[in-house]
Amino acid sequence: MDCAVKFEKSVAALPGVTRVSFNTMIGKLKVEGAVSLEAIRGEGRKENYNVFPDHESLAGPVKPRINWEPIRVATALVALLAGYIAEWITVSSAVYIPMYVAAIAIGGWGNFRKAFYSLSRLDFNMSVLMSMAILGAMAIGHWEEGAVVAFLYAISEMLEVWTMDRARHAIDRLMHIAPKAARISRPDGEVDVPVEEIMVGDLMIIRPGEKIAMDGRIIKGESAINQASITGESAPVEKGIGAEVYAGTLNISGSLEVEVTKHVQDTTIAKIINLVEEAQSKRAPAQAFVERFAAIYTPIVLVLALGIILAPSLFLGYDWEPWFYRGLALLVVSCPCALVVSTPVAIVSAISNAARQGVLIKGGIYLEEAGTIQAIAFDKTGTLTKGVPAVTDIIPARTCSEQKLLQIAAALETRSEHPLAEAIIKAAKARHLAWSPAEDFSNIAGRGAQGTINEQKIYIGNPCLFKSLGIKSNLIDEQVALLQKEGKTVMLVGTRQGFLGLIAVADEVRETTKASLAALRRLGIKHTIMLTGDNEATAQAMSERAGVDEYRAELLPQDKVTAIETYQEKYGKVAMVGDGVNDTPALATANIGIAMGGAGTDIALETADIALMADDLTKLPFTIRLSRATLRIIRQNIAFALAIKTIAVLAVFPGWLTLWLAILGDMGATVLVTLNSIRLMRLKPGD
C-alpha cells in the first residue's frame, strides 16, 4: 500500500501529467495528460511494478510473465540453509558469510531497490526501515539474522501478493462473465463477431446453454434466463418477445433472436464493473483514518528507534551493540503493513461480494454508512409493492358507459409512463378497445395528466387534481372514500364541466416485503416508513398490509424530500429505498440512497449510493449485515495490528525481540488481517 501511494505520486509528478488515479486492488492506473509509457514504466520499476497498456488485456490474453517471487524465496532459502549448515559444522566464516550475503541479496533485492529510490527522495518508508535493519545487522556481525530478515521479508511480499490476488479474484470473475464474441445474423449467414465490433441494431442468435454477449431485446423466441451474474437472483427468469436481456447472463432453454440495444462499453455488466472499480478507489472513513494514523505513527517509531540506539550508550554508559540491535528490531517491527492493509482489503472484499450477490455499492463510505442507519424510508409503488397494479373497478357517471370511460382513460394514459397508466392500457386491451392517443398531452406533477380528445380537454388523476380544478360531487366523494378504505387507488376522469367517472386500481404487496421488514427489525432497524403519493385511506391500508411502522401519504416528489429531512432530525441517519427515477431527489437527500431494480436502469446506477440489481427486498437486510460485518472486521484488524505492534515495542526494551521475530510478527499480522478481511467474501443472503 505504501509503495502504491509513492508510485501514484511519482507518476503525478511526471511532466505533462494532469491527473493520476491508481487502484491498487485491481492493479489499474489511469493517467491523464501527455506522457510516455516508458516514463511511467520507469517510475513503476522503482516500486517493483510492471506496467503495460490496458488495451493489451482488452485485445486478448496478456503474454504470461514469469512469477519470480517463489523462485526468489526458494533460492534465498537454499542460501540461508547452506549458510546455517556451514556455520554449524564450523566451516570457515569465509564460506558461510558469503552464503548469508547471498540470501540477503536475493531475498532483499526488491526491498533494497525500492529503498534506494526512496532515499533519493528523502522518504523514510517501510523499505528504507527494513534495509537499515538488515544492513545494521550485517554491520554488527549478525549475518544470519540479517539473512533471516531478508528471507522472511521476501515471504511476506509473496504472501501479500497472494492474499491481495484472492481479494481481486471476484472482480476478475466479473470481467470475464460476458463472452468476447457473439453469433450475429448477416445477409450471407451467421458469423461470430467480436463484441467490440457489434453495433446497436445487430441481431444476435443465442442457442440454449449459451451466454448472452450483449445487452438487447428479444424479438423472437422464449426462454428461461439465469440472471444471477447481474441481479443475484438464484432462480431463472422466464422471458419472451420484448423482454430485455443482459450481457453475461445465461440462456437456459430456448433459442433466441435478440436485437442489440447497447454498445459493449455501455452494457449493464460493463457499468457494474466500472462502478465496482471506482468504488474500490474511494477511501472509506476508516481507511482515511488509518492512513493518517500510519503517517504519524511511522516517524514517531523511527525517532524512538534512534533514541534506543543512541541514548543508553551516550547518556547511561551502556554497551552500544545490544541497544543498537534492539533499535534495529524496533525499526523492523515499526513497519505499519498490517495496519495499512487492515481496512482496504475488507472494503474490497465486501464490495466484491455484494456485486456478486446483485448489490452494487458505489464506495467504501456508503458501505460503512449502511451499517449505521437508524431508519429506512420506502417508496410504496415498485418497492414495497410489485408496482404492477391492475384495474379493479370502473364506475362511470350517468353520461358515460364503462367502455367509453375506459377508452377515454386509455387515450389519455397512452403517452404516460406511470404504472397506473399501464394498468389502464392493459385493461383496455383486454376488452379489445380501440383508441387514438390524446392530443396536447401533459403530466401534472404528483396529481395526474391532461389531454385533448375530440377537441375537449379531459383530465385524469387523483381527487386533489379535481379539487384544484373546483370540480366536486358528493356521490363521487362517497365512492372514492369507500374504495380507498379497501386500499385501492382511485383515478377520476372528467372535464371542467363535471365527472365522467372513476377507475380504481390495486397494487399487490411483494411476497418478500414482510419477511424483509422483519429481518430489518431483527437487525435493530427500529423505524420503517412508507412514503407515497396515495391518499390517506389507501396509504393506511397498504401500510398495514406491508407491515411498516409509519407512513406518510399524499406526497409530491418535493414532499418526500421534506419527509426525509424531518426523519433525519427525528431519528438520525435515514436510508431511502426507491426506484431511482421518480424518487431521485429523496434518494439524494437521504444519508444512503438505495435504488430497487438497478439492472438495465441507467438512472438508478447513476443516482443511488447502493443499487439492488433485482427487485428483491431481501437483499436489503443482507446489505446491512454485510456493512456491519465489514465494520466489525475492520475494528478487529486495527485492534489486532495495534496490539501486535504494542507487544513488540514493549518486548524491545528487555531484549526479547529479535530481528527475525520482529519481521515474523509483522508478516504474520499482515497476512492474518488480510485473511480475516477475505472472510467477508463468504457472507451470503440468509446466513
Which residues are within 8 A (CB) of 72 and not within 5 positions of it... i.e. 6 or more apart? 106, 107, 109, 110, 154
Highest mean pLDDT of the ranges 134-148, 301-315, 415-429: 415-429
Mean pLDDT value across residues 27-45: 73
Per DSSP, 211 falls in state B
123 is annotated as an active-site residue: no
Strands of 203-206's sheet in order across: 189-194, 181-186, 203-206, 256-260, 216-220, 244-245
Residue 318's pLDDT is what?
Answer: 77
Which residues face 459 on adjacent strands? Answer: 450, 494
**Position 276 pLDDT exceeds 60:** yes
d(CA 503, CA 501): 7
For residue 524, give the 3-state DSSP assignment. Answer: coil
How would residue 447 be classed by pLDDT, with cut points 50, 70 and 90?
A: confident
| Predicted TM-score (pTM) of this structure | 0.68
* CATH class of residue range 390-506: alpha beta
Same fold for the pair 359-385+509-620 and 390-506: no
| Average pLDDT of the residues of the chain | 81
For residue range 604-657, what is the model confidence (pLDDT) as tens digits? Answer: 567 788 888 877 888 999 999 999 999 999 889 888 888 887 887 788 777 787
Lowest mean per-residue pLDDT among 259-268, 282-291, 671-680: 282-291
Q: Domain 2-57: which topology?
A: Alpha-Beta Plaits (3.30.70)
Q: Which amino acid is at 32?
A: E
Residue 345's pLDDT is what?
Answer: 79
Contact 80, 15 (CB under 8 A): no
Residue 58's pLDDT is what?
Answer: 43
Neighbours of 456 (CB within 10 A): 12
d(CA 305, CA 296): 15
Neighbours of 477 (CB within 10 A): 12
Give the rounded percent of residues in the chain with a pLDDT score beyond 90. Answer: 17
Which residues are within 8 A (CB) of 210 and not within 5 positions of it... i.e. 6 or more apart? 179, 250, 251
Q: Which CATH architecture has domain 359-385+509-620?
A: 3-Layer(aba) Sandwich (3.40)
Per DSSP, 549 falls in state S
Phi, psi angle pair for 191, to nearest 5°: -135, 150
Contact 415, 438 (CB under 8 A): yes
Which residues are within 8 A (CB) of 3 and not within 5 positions of it... i.e. 6 or more apart? 47, 48, 49, 114, 127
Contact 236, 214 (CB under 8 A): no
Residue 17's pLDDT is what?
Answer: 78
Q: Is 214 exposed, middle or buried (0-12, 13-18, 19+ CB in 10 A)?
A: buried
619-652 vs 344-356: helix crossing angle, rounded to 10: 160
Contact 330, 652 (CB under 8 A): yes
Instruction: Tell me the H-state helices in 238-396.
Output: 268-281, 285-315, 320-333, 337-341, 344-356, 364-370
Per annotation, catalytic residue among 202, 215, 379, 616: 379
How would residue 259 be classed by pLDDT, with cut points 50, 70 and 90?
A: very high
Which residues face 450 on adjacent strands? Answer: 442, 459
Cell digits for 553? 401519504
Q: Is 2 exposed, middle or buried (0-12, 13-18, 19+ CB in 10 A)?
A: buried
d(CA 310, CA 300): 16
Residue 624's pLDDT is what?
Answer: 94
- Burial letters 349-358, b for 16+ CB under 10 A, else e: bbbbbbbbbb
Lowest mean per-residue pLDDT among 233-247, 267-281, 570-584: 267-281
**Position 534 pLDDT exceeds 90:** no
For residue 441, give the 3-state DSSP assignment. Answer: strand
Which residues are within 8 A (CB) of 569 and not within 5 positions of it... i.e. 6 or more apart? none
Neighbours of 268 (CB within 10 A): 27
For residue range 190-218, what is the model confidence (pLDDT) as tens digits? Answer: 899 988 889 999 999 999 988 899 999 99
How would residue 45 be classed by pLDDT, with cut points 50, 70 and 90?
A: low
How would residue 549 be classed by pLDDT, with cut points 50, 70 and 90?
A: very high
Contact 216, 260 (CB under 8 A): yes
Cell digits for 523? 437487525
How would residue 84 be classed by pLDDT, with cut points 50, 70 and 90?
A: confident
Strands 610-612 and 592-596, how do they pair?
parallel
Cell digits for 409? 382513460
Boundaries of every domain in the chain = 2-57, 68-171+277-346+629-682, 181-266, 359-385+509-620, 390-506
* CATH class of residue range 181-266: mainly beta
Cell digits for 371? 451499517
d(CA 479, CA 465): 17
Per DSSP, 682 falls in state G
DSSP per position, 254-277:
S-EEEEE-S-GGGSHHHHHHHHHH
CA-to-CA dists, residue 469 to 129, 464, 658, angstroms: 79, 9, 87
